[in-house]
């Protein structure tokens, strides 16, 4: 087992931490990854001057915490408890192994892992090497993974042997065979410590080129509105600013115990305050394979969890759970809820029923994150999605002609600031559409803002479905459906759902010569599953229709379909 090879190597006792392998000296020159739109120099200068960008890499931050909180438990995964000191050693050893495979500064590596302790080894080892992780979600399947690997020209793909019945090892073989840039497909074997991955934890590395804090640290995924997911380049400097501020705003400290119940690679789980916020604060992270009450409540009770971050449907499961009274949840102080709009009715129930403070989070992997503050009055916490992190987050609410709107009037949310990207990775055309000439990101969200700057999300302009926090691009699913031989046309929309907020519905028009009896929702779902896409993107409902409703200019009226 990978873990066993390392367990006991370093117990966080009297031994000194093995030295990091860096050449001592200043950070090397900043290298701009091709296809990335940089922050303009005057903005970068301003963000440095104001102390937002501190010239630190994520690995510097991680090893700072390894030193400061050496004896604290960093990660709890089942029966395993890993201290910061031990995690630091595991990371250095794995970084050594990965560097011997030729992975180094600037190399893209697609990471495809569930909520397991080894995720921390892999991600921080890659940061240490200055390699650029691309964060796939565990739910992603062949079509998405192949795309991430080839689009990012990944040198390596790292996954687990199997998870929830899916054979990731087989996928790794397929990816290695079909994406030429992928020189290594590495499989973390949870059962057998003799396999290749365990062997990578050799001696710590000695000599390693540092990366520059202005470099791209990783590529995060966007929920997407286009046929293919977009990749979001975030720098060490900009991301660490949100991490420090998020940890502060969410009240994390080395006494905190945070339950990681959402998919670990999601931007929310990474950073709001997420695992990086916990690492920065020296907090304990308890890994849960899912957020369902029967998994989460026993963990809260056993580990005296003080906070967790959920999406609205999971928060509803917690509120409506019949087993809630069987567990002691009294340690819980703060519950973050975000990723999709939380209804006021549900928001109001959190404090009286779960006994903790609700903190609404409205964020995006592209940058801007808003939080209600822990000291805010309850009326504001339940009715708003929060206030920006930074005084230098420029937030505009504009009408369709780009004219700024007064407080209280809903409009399009545009933003620019010290941690919001200036463009997607290698996406010239999309960037022209989604960013203004002066660098504001057009979020596609409709919000209203009050006099203090608090935002309330009232709708969405972009063609995207938010299925309980999981974002689905209709165009991506329509394209896949159109590749079905019986389908003439497809239109995918979000329709209201009590629990998820929205679910995915596909309308399809069959080819004239196709017998409608030969096509069923079951068969269409199977077809999409065989294409290899994340389960949350597969439509919950299908409807076969003769034709689509049209707008007066002859386009498919998705509004009519949503409301039908
Ligand atoms: P992504 O760009 O894929 O990271 O998804 C971010 C999007 O999720 C935002 O632009 C919003 O549309 C949505 N979102 C995130 N948090 C919230 C929230 N608290 N309320 C409503 N929508 C949210
Ligand atoms: O939905 C999101 O992408 C999201 C929600 C809350 C996010 O990226 C974040 C906080 O950082």
d(CA 204, CA 207): 10
Rounded to the nearest angstrom, the distance between the alpha carbon of 285 and the centre of ligand 1 is 24
Indicate the length of the chain as a whole number. 564
Helix (H/G/I), strand (E/B), else coil: 219: strand
Strands (E), 154-230: 156-160, 162-163, 166-167, 184-188, 216-221
* Ligand 1 proximity of 359 Cβ (cutoff 6 Å): no
d(CA 271, CA 385): 17
d(CA 476, CA 487): 15
Closest C-alpha to 145, from 223, 221, 226: 221
d(CA 388, CA 485): 48
* Ligand 2 proximity of 389 Cβ (cutoff 6 Å): no
Q: In what order do the strands lie in the sheet with 184-188?
A: 184-188, 156-160, 108-112, 132-135, 216-221, 231-235
Residue 239 backbone phi and psi in degrees, to 5? -70, -40
Q: Cβ distance 534 to 141 under 8 Å? A: yes
Pairing of strands 108-112, 132-135: parallel
Q: Cβ distance 61 to 241 under 8 Å? A: no
SS (H, E, C) 35-58: CCCCCCHHHHHHHHHCCCCCCCCH
* Ligand 1 proximity of 466 Cβ (cutoff 6 Å): yes
Q: Cβ distance 468 to 499 under 8 Å? A: yes
Helix, strand, coil percentages in the chain from 3-state DSSP, rounded to 5: 35, 25, 45
Tokens at residue 499, please? Answer: 């629990």
Closest ligand 2 atom to 242 CA:
11
* Ligand 2 proximity of 501 Cβ (cutoff 6 Å): no
* Ligand 1 proximity of 339 Cβ (cutoff 6 Å): yes
Tokens at residue 87, please? Answer: 């995690």
Neighbours of 426 (CB within 10 A): 17
Tokens at residue 93, please? Answer: 């050893």
Distances in whole angstroms, Cα of residue 181 to Cα of each of 159, 176, 506: 17, 9, 35
Which mutation among 365, 366, 420, 447 tests ligand 2's pocket best, with the greatest number of atoms within 8 A of CB?
365
d(CA 350, CA 336): 10
Q: Cβ distance 115 to 1 under 8 Å? A: no
d(CA 496, CA 505): 10
d(CA 152, CA 281): 32
This prediction's pTM = 0.95
Residues contacting 148, CB < 8 A, separation 6+? 110, 134, 136, 140, 154, 221, 229, 231
Closest ligand 2 atom to 223 CA:
3
Give me the tens of pLDDT residue by residue for the chain, a chain 564 residues long. Answer: 222 223 233 344 444 555 776 655 678 889 889 999 999 999 999 999 999 999 999 999 999 999 999 999 999 999 999 999 999 999 999 999 999 999 999 999 999 999 999 999 999 999 999 999 999 999 999 999 999 999 999 999 999 999 999 999 999 999 999 999 999 999 998 765 546 788 899 877 666 677 899 999 999 999 877 788 999 999 999 999 999 999 999 999 999 999 999 999 999 999 999 999 999 999 999 999 999 999 999 999 999 999 999 999 999 999 999 999 999 999 999 999 999 999 999 999 999 999 999 999 999 999 999 999 999 999 999 999 999 999 999 999 999 999 999 999 999 999 999 999 999 999 999 999 999 999 999 999 999 999 999 999 999 999 999 999 999 999 999 999 999 999 999 999 999 999 999 999 999 999 999 998 889 999 999 999 999 999 999 999 999 999 999 988 888 899 999 988
Which bound ligand lies closest to the C-alpha atom of 359? 1
Tell me, what DSSP letter sits at residue 204?
Answer: P
Nearest-10 crossing angle of helices 474-482, 521-531: 100
Residue 3 backbone phi and psi in degrees, to 5? -60, -45
Q: Cβ distance 509 to 484 under 8 Å? A: no
* Ligand 2 proximity of 271 Cβ (cutoff 6 Å): yes
Rounded to the nearest angstrom, the distance between the alpha carbon of 9 and the centre of ligand 1 is 42
- What residue's CA is closest to ligand 2, atom 6? 363
* Ligand 2 proximity of 338 Cβ (cutoff 6 Å): yes
Distances in whole angstroms, Cα of residue 380 to Cα of each of 268, 309, 374: 22, 19, 11
* Ligand 2 proximity of 457 Cβ (cutoff 6 Å): no
Closest ligand 1 atom to 445 CA:
12
């Amino acid at each position: 087992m990978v873990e066993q090879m390392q367990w006991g190597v370093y117990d966080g006792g009297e031994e000194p931490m093995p030295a990091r392998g860096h050449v001592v000296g200043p950070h090397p020159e900043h290298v701009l990854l091709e296809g990335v739109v940089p922050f303009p120099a005057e903005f970068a200068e301003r963000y440095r001057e104001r102390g937002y960008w501190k010239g630190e890499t994520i690995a510097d931050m991680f090893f700072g915490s390894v030193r400061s909180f050496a004896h604290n438990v960093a990660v709890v995964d089942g029966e395993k408890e890993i201290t910061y000191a031990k995690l630091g050693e595991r990371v250095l050893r794995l970084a050594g192994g990965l560097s011997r495979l030729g992975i180094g500064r600037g190399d893209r590596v697609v990471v495809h892992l569930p909520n397991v302790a080894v995720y921390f080894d892999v991600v921080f080892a890659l940061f240490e090497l200055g390699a650029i992780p691309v964060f796939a979600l565990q739910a992603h399947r062949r079509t998405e993974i192949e795309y991430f690997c080839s689009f990012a020209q990944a040198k390596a793909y790292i996954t687990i042997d199997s998870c929830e019945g899916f054979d990731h090892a087989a996928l790794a073989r397929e990816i290695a065979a079909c994406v030429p840039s992928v020189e290594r497909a590495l499989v973390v074997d949870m059962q057998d410590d003799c396999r290749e991955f365990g062997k990578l934890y050799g001696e710590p590395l000695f000599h390693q080129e540092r990366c520059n804090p202005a470099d791209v640290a990783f590529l995060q995924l966007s929920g997407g509105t286009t046929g293919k997911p977009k990749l979001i380049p975030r720098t060490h400097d900009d991301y660490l600013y949100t991490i420090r501020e998020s940890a502060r705003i969410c009240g994390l400290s080395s006494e905190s115990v945070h339950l990681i119940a959402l998919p670990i690679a999601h931007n929310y789980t990474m950073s709001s305050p997420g695992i990086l916020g916990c690492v920065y604060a020296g907090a304990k992270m308890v890994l849960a394979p899912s957020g369902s009450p029967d998994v989460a409540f026993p963990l809260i009770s056993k580990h005296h969890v003080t906070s967790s971050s959920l999406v609205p449907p999971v928060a509803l499961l917690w509120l409506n759970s019949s087993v809630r009274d069987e567990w002691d949840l009294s340690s819980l102080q703060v519950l973050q809820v975000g990723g999709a709009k939380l209804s006021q009715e549900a928001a109001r129930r959190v404090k009286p029923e779960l006994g903790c403070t609700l903190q609404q989070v409205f964020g995006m992997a592209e940058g801007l994150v808003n939080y209600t503050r822990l000291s805010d009055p309850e009326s504001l916490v339940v009715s708003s999605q929060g206030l920006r992190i930074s005084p230098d987050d420029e937030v505009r609410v504009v009408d369709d002609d780009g004219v700024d709107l007064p407080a209280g009037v809903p409009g399009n949310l545009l933003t620019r600031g010290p941690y919001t990207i200036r463009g997607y990775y290698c996406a010239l055309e999309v960037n022209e559409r989604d960013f203004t000439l002066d660098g504001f990101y057009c979020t596609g969200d409709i919000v209203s803002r009050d006099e203090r700057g608090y935002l309330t999300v009232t709708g969405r302009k972009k063609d995207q479905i938010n299925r309980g926090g999981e974002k689905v691009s209709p165009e991506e699913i329509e394209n896949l459906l159109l590749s079905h031989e019986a389908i003439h046309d497809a239109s995918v929309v979000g329709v209201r759902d009590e629990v998820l907020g929205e679910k995915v519905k596909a309308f399809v028009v069959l080819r004239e010569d196709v017998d409608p009896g030969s096509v069923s929702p079951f068969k269409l779902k199977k077809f999409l599953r065989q294409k290899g896409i994340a389960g949350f993107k597969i439509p919950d409902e299908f409807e076969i229709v003769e034709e689509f409703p049209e707008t007066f200019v002859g386009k498919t009226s998705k509004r009519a379909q949503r409301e039908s």
